[in-house]
Amino acid sequence: MRYENIQILVLSTAALFILVTGFIIYFVILYRNKQIRNKQEKEQLQARYSQEILRAQIEMQDQTLNYISGEIHDNITQVLSFVKLSLAMPANLTENDRQLKINESRELIGQTINDLRDLSKSLSYEHITSLGLLKTIEIEVERIKKSGLLNVTFLFEGEPYSLGSQPELVLFRIFQEALNNTLKHASAKHLKISLQYFNHLFNLTLEDDGDGFSKKLLYDQSGSGLKNIENRAALIGAVATIESSPGNGCCIKVTLNPLEQQVYADGNYSNSPG
């Protein structure tokens, strides 16, 4: 009887010890695997973020170069050619007419100098870093107003704060993408741009009165620019909502919580027990 009791005691105790130890070892292995998988996912996310930032920079440089080359070709070259022709004065002109032509040419050259100065302020990644998103968008708005392509209303609310150079770059690319869509495809007459800086919320809204489009377009190949806006917003932890229907214009709104956005870039958020 005594031997049997001891045997049962020892066996049941040993079985339980093995079971608990086995469970703990299994948990340690599972946890380690999860740690490795999460680390890899985080690295992939960071790599994607860096790639997207680089892509946004390259796209901005391309857009800037296109804009500068367009300006040189369509504006500066034309004005300077006109000045050249104007200064090749026939010999029979009176002194008075000569003076008139010279004054006219001086004015045109002065205007060209101003245009060149504006060109030197063309938008680039460095501009967003030094001027900030608000000022950069303001410059872009002025440029569109000057071109006369659209009637633009620009509004901003709240006390502006920095969202970080990389998120601001992404936001500016979203703004450019939305603007390009309006200019190229919307046939809009009026565009309303608004920026709202609240305590823990930032909003960027672009609203046009153009042709609009059906929601289906978002999922078509032709709507890749709009899909790009949503993807880029998600990359910095923002949410982009695109509302449109045929004949009713389009409204693109990007909402960002500045406190949460960095999770996507460096994963430094707290989630500790206790």
Q: Mark residue 267 as left, alpha or beta (left: phi above 0; alpha: psi -120 to 50; beta: remaining).
A: left
d(CA 223, CA 103): 51
Shortest Cβ 208–other proteins spacing (Å):
42
> Per CB under 8 A, which region of 34-42, 44-52, 59-67, 187-195 contacts other proteins?
34-42
Shortest Cβ 28–other proteins spacing (Å):
6
Q: Is 215 in the site for other proteins (CB under 8 A)?
A: no
Pairing of strands 201-208, 190-198: antiparallel
Nearer Cβ to other proteins (17/161) = 17
Q: Side by side, which strands form the sheet with 250-256?
A: 151-158, 190-198, 201-208, 250-256, 239-244
> Per CB under 8 A, which region of 36-44, 49-57, 78-86, 157-165 contacts other proteins?
36-44
* Sites for other proteins among residues 1-20 (CB under 8 A): 1-2, 5-6, 9-10, 12-13, 16-17, 19-20
Cα dihedral across residues 226, 256, 165, 260: positive or negative: negative
> What is the DSSP code (8-state) at residue 216?
G
Dihedral pair phi/psi, residue 260, rounded to 5°: -95, -20
Q: How many residues bind other proteins (CB under 8 A)?
A: 32
State which of residues 11, 18, 22, 23 lies at the interface with other proteins (CB under 8 A): 23
Q: Is 48 in the site for other proteins (CB under 8 A)?
A: no
Could you give the angle at the alpha carbon of 127 between the alpha carbons of 194 and 124, nearest 5°? 95
Residues of this chain that interact with other proteins (CB under 8 A) are 1-2, 5-6, 9-10, 12-13, 16-17, 19-20, 23-24, 27-28, 30-32, 34-35, 38-39, 42, 267-274
